[in-house]
Amino acid sequence: MANTDLFETRPGVPATDTVNEAGGRAYRMNAEHALAQLAATGCFQNTFYTSAQDQLKTVLALTEQVAPHFIAQTAVFAREKGFMKDMPALLCAVLATRDPDLLVSTFARVIDNGRMVRNFVQMIRSGVTGRRSLGSRPKRLVRTWLAERDGEALVRDSVGNQPSLGDIIKMVHPVPTSPAREALYGYLIGREVDQSLLPESLQDFERYKQHRAGVVPKVPFQMLTALDLDRDAWTEIARNASWTMTRMNLNTFHRHGVFEVKGMPELIAKRLANADLIRTSRVFPYQLLAAYLNVEPGIPRVIADALEHAMEISIDNVPRFEGRVAVLPDISGSMGSPVTGYRHGATTKVKCVHVAALVAAAVLRRNPDAVVLPFDTRVVTLKLRGRDSVLTNARKLAISGGGTDCSAPLRYMLHKDIRVDTAIFVSDNESWFNGSHRHSYYQTTATAAMEAWNRYRTRNRGARLVCLDIQPNTTVQATGSADILNLGGFSDQSFTMIDGFVRGKGAQDYWVRQIKKIEV
């Protein structure tokens, strides 16, 4: 019989048409897919392979190549499904110039809190989207947003600057519909007002500032931090804090002695592990990991345990995939960069490799027979158990490697005859070390990953490949087939998308097709 390694019948493999940021062979995404990728992963900060300025230039160039309707759909997807902030606000700012009518139907779904309003206004005024003034329609939308927020909501939204909510009020000139709303607008822009007309929380805040006595007012704690509060006051703040504020300020509470108060560690731990609060917070699992990694020495163990329990709850919606699954987390050197980029004075401790490890550990938790093959230029074998906690397995997987060869785990599965129904890459997609140097049958114009997958799916009919990219870029390592899903992001929506694809609902450009189903 002829040597099947040499003469195996295989469908054609498309030739590459570009190189990635690492200099390796790659396939260029079409404009719609590239815009969706950047909207789901872009952070407007410097990353391992690209700068914030380059991200901005690329996004703006892509918006010129796609229809305004798709820009609107992508903005909604990035905000509602991807939980992103800067990118969807930028896309709305683009719509303010490209198609103001679409902005009207998109605005409320994307610009849904004070931070998003500030992002939108600042991005327009910067001039990067083609205009420096808000214009009549964006002003009207912001005025409507202000009018529809109740007084207490505007108090919460008032935290933040550049621009402040007061600055925005001065720009758009909202017409107050009552003496109370007139007083609130006046207060937010720094005028003297009749304080008896203000929301109750602001009245309490003004009294507290004067006397520093009584119950701590229920205003955003950022408004209180300049008041040199004592431990009792901080304890009261912690008692009334939201779930998100609690997660983000554990070390602050610790430094102010909150956990020394009897019952407070248990109260905070119970809140952190509250399943309903976790699900409504729209928290990324990696943000819980960030809280866990940042816990200072001396914080009670019950707090760390609660964060670990919260992590288990946060991945409850990870599906039990049909068939056998292999997860292929990238542990190469570039994956050691911060997942949200390098931020001056605020760079996260969570690295891309942590996110890859979390995805792998979460899938293993829900699919105990899954195969996990971490890789750089080779596969690193680890002993993992599905019954271990997500954080336990994530810690084992968060290891540092060298170069990147996305063909390595596929070649390993071929060599070991590991048969799975779905293989899931979690990577920054910057493969450059080409396995073809060592295998004559890989010496084609395709990527090594695409060539290896082509061989794998020939031997394992019906297998599917998912490439989950967690960094902003515009190239892929595998393309051109209905059995390949390329998508970006690291929200729980990624799992939902993968599940639908695995269940046979896939088609070429599956992710983009899902975005195009969004009604705007």
Whether omega for the bond prior to residue 163 falls within 30 degrees of 0, making it cis, is yes
Q: Domains in the chain, ordered, with CATH?
A: 67-217 (no CATH), 220-314 (no CATH), 318-516 (3.40.50.410)
Tell me the CB-side half-sphere exposure of residue 363, using CA atoms within 13 A: 29
pLDDT value at position 458?
93
Q: How far apart are CA 408 and CA 403, in angstroms?
A: 11
pLDDT value at position 49?
63
pLDDT value at position 438?
41
pLDDT value at position 194?
96
Q: How far apart are CA 480 and CA 502, in angstroms?
A: 17
Strand boundaries in 48-98, DSSP class E: none
pLDDT value at position 351?
85
Q: Please name the helix (run of DSSP H) or strand (run of DSSP E) that holds residue 423, with its range, or none.
A: strand 422-427
What string of H, E and C letters represents the secondary structure of 114-154?
HHHHHHHHHHHHCCCCCCCCCCHHHHHHHHHHHHHCCHHHH
Tell me the CB-side half-sphere exposure of residue 150, using CA atoms within 13 A: 4
pLDDT value at position 506?
66
pLDDT value at position 90?
96
Whether this prediction's pTM lies above 0.85 is answered by: yes
pLDDT 10s digits, 175-211: 999 999 999 999 999 999 999 999 999 999 999 888 8
Q: How far apart are CA 381 and CA 395, in angstroms?
A: 15
pLDDT value at position 434?
66
Q: In 3D, which of 383, 373, 440 has the Cα closest to residue 408?
A: 373
Residue 213 in tokens: 């006595």
pLDDT value at position 4?
47
Q: What is the pLDDT along the chain (520 residues), one digit of tens a residue?
A: 455 444 444 456 888 899 998 888 999 999 999 999 999 888 777 676 678 888 899 999 999 999 999 999 999 999 998 888 899 999 999 999 999 999 999 999 999 999 999 999 999 999 999 888 898 999 999 999 999 999 999 999 999 888 999 999 999 999 999 999 999 999 999 999 999 999 999 999 999 888 877 788 888 888 887 788 889 999 999 998 999 999 999 999 999 999 999 999 999 999 999 999 988 887 777 788 888 888 889 999 999 999 999 988 887 767 888 899 999 999 999 998 887 777 766 677 778 888 888 889 889 988 999 999 999 999 999 888 888 888 888 888 888 888 999 999 999 999 999 999 999 999 998 898 765 444 334 445 889 999 999 999 999 999 999 999 988 889 999 987 889 999 988 777 788 888 889 887 667 788 999 999 999 9
Q: Write phi, then psi, for 484 (nearest 5 degrees).
A: -125, 125
Q: Are strands 25-28 and 18-19 parallel, antiparallel or unpaired?
A: antiparallel
pLDDT value at position 8?
45
